[in-house]
Amino acid sequence: MGLQCWYVLLALAIIPTNPLALIKSNILSAQSKFQIILEPFLWKKRSSSNDSDHSQESVGGFFQRHFGKEVVDYLIDPFVAGTSAGDPESLSMRHSFPELWNLEKSFGSIISGAIQSKLSARNAKSEETKRSSEKTKHQRGSFSFQGGMQTLTDTLCKELDVDKIKLNSKVLSLSYGLGKSAIENWSVSFATNHDNRSQALSMDAVIMTAPLCDVKEMRITKRGHPFPLNFLPEVNYMPLSVLITTFKKENVKRPLEGFGVLVPSKEQQNGLKTLGTLFSSMMFPDRAPDDLYLYTTFVGGSRNKELANASTDELKQVVTSDLRQLLGAEGEPKFVNHFYWKKAFPLYGHNYDSVVEAIEKMEKNLPGFFYAGNHRGGLSVGKAIASGCKAAEHVISYLESSSDDNTIGE
pLDDT in tens, 6-55: 566 554 556 666 777 778 777 888 998 999 899 988 877 655 555 556 77
Q: Are residues 332 and 356 in the same domain?
A: no
Q: Are residues 27 and 111 in the same domain?
A: yes
According to the model, what pLDDT value does residue 139 have? 47
Q: Are residues 332 and 296 in the same domain?
A: yes
Residue 152 included in any domain: no
Q: Are residues 206 and 307 in the same domain?
A: no
Q: Are residues 362 and 336 in the same domain?
A: no
Q: Read off the CATH number of the domain in which 86 is found.
A: 1.10.3110.10
Q: Are residues 337 and 242 in the same domain?
A: yes
How many domains would you assign to the chain? 3
Residue 157 included in any domain: no
Q: Are strands 260-262 and 219-222 parallel, antiparallel or unpaired?
A: unpaired
Q: Are residues 25 and 117 in the same domain?
A: yes
pLDDT interval class at 129 (50, 70, 90): low
According to the model, what pLDDT value does residue 11 have? 47
Q: Are residues 327 and 246 in the same domain?
A: yes
Q: Is the pTM of this model over 0.85?
A: no
Of the candidates 346, 361, 385, which is a domain's last residue?
346
Is residue 246 predicted with pLDDT exceeding 90?
A: yes
Q: Are residues 290 and 389 in the same domain?
A: no
According to the model, what pLDDT value does residue 138 have? 46
CA distance 217 to 228: 10
Residue 216's domain comprises 165-234+350-409
Q: Are residues 225 and 361 in the same domain?
A: yes
Q: Are residues 115 and 175 in the same domain?
A: no
Is residue 2 predicted with pLDDT exceeding 70?
A: no
Calculate what percentage of the chain has a pLDDT beyond 90.
55
Residue 50 included in any domain: yes
Q: Read off the CATH number of the domain in which 393 is found.
A: 3.50.50.60
Residue with more model confidence, 259 or 54: 259
Q: Are residues 262 and 306 in the same domain?
A: yes
Residue 40 included in any domain: yes
- Do 166 and 198 contact (CB within 8 A), yes or no? no
CA-nearest of 58, 43, 57 to 104 is 43
Classify burial at 254, counting beta carbons within 10 Å of its beta carbon; exposed 0-12, middle 13-18, buried 19 or more. Answer: exposed
According to the model, what pLDDT value does residue 396 have? 94
CA distance 320 to 219: 45
Of the candidates 296, 323, 346, which is a domain's last residue?
346
Residue 266 included in any domain: yes
Q: Estimate to the nearest angstrom the gap between the alpha carbon of 94 and the chain centroid.
A: 15
- Average the pLDDT over 255-265 and give the result: 88
Residue 156 included in any domain: no
Residue 134 included in any domain: no
Of the candidates 103, 123, 143, which is a domain's last residue?
123
- Do 61 and 96 contact (CB within 8 A), yes or no? no
Residue 136 included in any domain: no
Q: Read off the CATH number of the domain in which 293 is found.
A: 3.90.660.20
